[in-house]
């Protein structure tokens, strides 16, 4: 079964698009206050999740509301773990975690950060982490017997590194980082799930951007609730997966 997950609860407890998304998704990654969200919004979205049979995950980030958690931070392991402790208090009975934004991206490529996060996950008894299949965090979790749900993004484009052989999300500083056409995003997501491939950008020897087909694995597809196409995309993905994915 293909799950649609959504980073949500980042715009208050009653955003109209978020409320509708909660009827279309299978997993809600609920912001816990690090980049967005608060006690009221967490409670509201957990109530909606119960009503709609939606699984919840604690969506944790660098403690950086000013930048919506989308900038890397220089922070000691001790201070980062303390910040995660503070966020997790809002959802401490939930044992599925997805990291957000820059913390999510950094954990894919930074060995020390991945180790810091794994130490925290083990201490909290986390039993599932949503992260890219080939990330350093995924590798470390598997070594420590923490199950991983491999994730890909429906409306974000990917970059491929010849140096590491790994995929990453295209940095948001580039205007092509996000997919704004809903039908294109659906094709992108279905290609990932059905064909286990993605059209990723890379730089040739002259530093020019090029594109190539790269293998990818995913058990769940993520939609960002703040994407302008989020609601239409959730509706079309639900239909596409029901009709096309076996």
Helix, coil or strand: residue 133 = coil
- For 61, the token pair is 């980030």
Contact call for residues 69 and 61 (beta carbons, < 8 A): yes
- Percent of residues, the chain, with pLDDT higher than 70: 97
Q: What are phi and psi of 9, to 5 degrees?
A: 75, 25
pLDDT tens digits, one per residue of 197-244: 999 998 777 667 789 999 999 999 999 999 999 999 999 999 988 755
What does the mean pLDDT of the chain come to?
94
- Average pLDDT of the segment spanning 129-156: 97
At residue 109, the 3 state secondary structure works out as helix
Number of residues assigned to the chain: 246
Report the Cα 127 to chain-centroid distance in Å: 17
Q: What is the pLDDT of residues 105-118, one digit of tens each?
A: 999 999 999 999 99
Q: Which CATH superfamily hosts domain 3-153+217-244?
A: Glycoside hydrolase/deacetylase (3.20.20.370)
- Banded pLDDT at 246 (limits 50, 70, 90): very low
Q: Hey, where are the domains in the chain? A: 3-153+217-244
pLDDT of the residue at 243: 53
Predicted pLDDT at 1: 64
Query: Residues 6-56: pLDDT tens digits?
Result: 999 999 999 999 999 999 999 999 999 999 999 999 999 999 999 999 999
């Amino acid at each position: 079964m293909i799950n649609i997950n959504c980073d949500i609860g980042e715009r208050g407890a009653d955003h109209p698009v978020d409320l509708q998304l909660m009827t279309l998704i299978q997993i809600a990654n609920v912001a816990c206050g690090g980049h967005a969200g608060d006690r009221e919004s967490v409670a509201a979205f957990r109530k909606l999740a119960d009503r709609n049979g939606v699984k919840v995950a604690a969506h944790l980030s660098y403690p950086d509301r000013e930048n919506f958690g989308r900038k890397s931070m220089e922070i000691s392991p001790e201070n980062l773990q303390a910040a995660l402790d503070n966020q997790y208090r809002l959802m401490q009975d939930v044992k599925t975690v997805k990291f957000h934004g820059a913390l999510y991206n950094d954990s894919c490529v930074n060995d020390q950060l991945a180790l810091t996060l794994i130490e925290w996950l083990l201490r909290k008894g986390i039993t599932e982490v949503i992260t890219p299949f080939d990330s350093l965090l995924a590798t470390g979790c598997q070594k420590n017997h923490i199950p991983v749900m491999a994730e890909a993004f429906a409306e974000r484009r990917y970059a491929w590194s010849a140096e590491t052989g790994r995929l990453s999300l295209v940095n948001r500083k580039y205007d092509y980082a996000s997919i704004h056409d809903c039908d294109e995003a659906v094709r992108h997501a279905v290609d990932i799930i059905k064909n286990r491939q993605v059209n990723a950008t890379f730089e040739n020897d002259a530093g020019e951007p090029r594109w190539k087909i790269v293998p990818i694995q995913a058990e769940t597809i993520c939609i960002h609730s703040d994407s302008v196409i989020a609601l239409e995309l959730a509706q079309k993905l639900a239909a596409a997966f029901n009709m096309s994915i076996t």
